[in-house]
Structure 1
């Protein structure tokens, strides 16, 4: 007999029991990553990310987890529903709070519901959706959202009654390349020359790059990375970012083997940094920043170094982060990402279902057009 409960702090759950369900192949649902978000203050009621993690137990033993939050805004989600919130407001309704199953500030596709081996996720989904709907009503929440599940998971949520939404991202796939030049060999001649020129320009500016595992980086290097992180957010958003230095220090201590720090130097001076996370078969690009602007350095630090790392380590896939059509001409292929949604108000739910069907049609057409922009030779 399965029992369901909610907890308001992941620290209430034993790390070993949580990680036995999530595994380490996808870094962002690990206990250490989520616990660092809470301990550092990034995820709490005051920031609009109030933990409400769903736990499944059988005979007192933890057999399932779903990272879950009560949200009072839509920041840090990367599945944009501001128009839905505005529509609620126009009709005098409250869109917030809402329940969101996601990895905060991380638009990286991966498992959301993590179960003990042998449990049938598809059979459980209808019951879980009912329980999430009940919890939403108890909390006075307008809706339930599952953000960036993998496609099989999203399809299962959809079959259980949650509308499916799609969006575009641009990912790199390892076709068994032996080297970066081997990868470039799939490009058309002109595109190959353009990319080589970008890399050559970086070197001609006196820049050199290195890649470090989390525990290979010094305190000084981590401090420099955090300075870059804050600088980027200040430029883009006018604030210092969602995460503080304590968060990065914590995960560098608890999961260093899954962190890849790329540093750029001009001589002995560090000038830029990019942080990636590594799963069992994928690399995930997350944060970037620089203290000075250099031609093409962003592409080198955030894309080409990651591709080289994947080839060297035999990783099959590189997710460099959300948005950025400029990735296409550098060999990142347009793909679909997924989310699932349930709204308590039937009228709004019907309207949004119609919107999602039309949006899906446009996105499918966009992906076809975007694929034509890829740099590969016609035979590819």
Structure 2
């Protein structure tokens, strides 16, 4: 047993990775020694000048306590973090600590700073003890014990550094919540991209097909179709560029200078659908402009996806749209004729509509009945 203990101790003392942590301990010792010498000198001068005892004690408290509270300085967290990472070989999972933000981080940094100074003071005391034992046969065991104690203390500090200098539990929870919010935002952005690009491609496809058939008989229609294709695809390309920029840098939220469309742009959406060849009869009941912005934006996307489906599947290129705001709900009712072969519709579009409605606490009903496809969405809404 004793041989094993001696071997473990010698391996610990001779390990190269222990040298840098010892340097960290010596830095704390140098700070403690410098503070001790300065305080002792000032207190000795004050005592020799005949100053009352109570005042001498007060001066001592200020001289000793003042520098020790330096740990609350925000920059100390970053300095100590760099030292712990480079000398104690500590790996901070969230990256090197920055300057302290808030009193929670300052308190934990102060605790670390005091611990660093305290262990440094122990090193100074140990060295002074070795000087007192010099020439005695206890010198060699005392030196070995001192070195071993410094190594063990440095390892303890290496374990405590992430606890005191790293983020607290509350900070980790807040970071997880931010990450979850960012992930949800990325999902929403991707869905916006699907809706925008899908709608644009559907319009462009229908217009191009019609223009190809009438290219020699109706030049005016062909010109209007090409203009619609150009406008729609240019807007889709702008949306694509904007959204991809957001997805590349997920630390930024959508810019307020590029707001998402809402029901205030409903007329433009209907005009684009009609120019693509879909005859839409629409009615609006209630002041849609008084809807909360979030509800208005999501409702716009629901209508857009519904019109895109009608453009694809309506057997006579007609659709009926009714928006009604009242009694605490926004009702979206869209119908179009449908053939038997396309009575059942599946895909991301309908799922996206249901997801948007569900997110807002609403419901979606969709299906074919007596040769007509019906989409009915009810969203809880209140006037802003």
TM-score for the superposition, normalised by structure 2: 0.18
Between Structure 1 and Structure 2, the one with more helix by share is: 2
Between Structure 1 and Structure 2, the one with more strand by share is: 1
The structure with more radius of gyration:
2
Higher-RCO chain (CA-CA 8 Å, sequence separation at least 6): 1
TM-score for the superposition, normalised by structure 1: 0.18
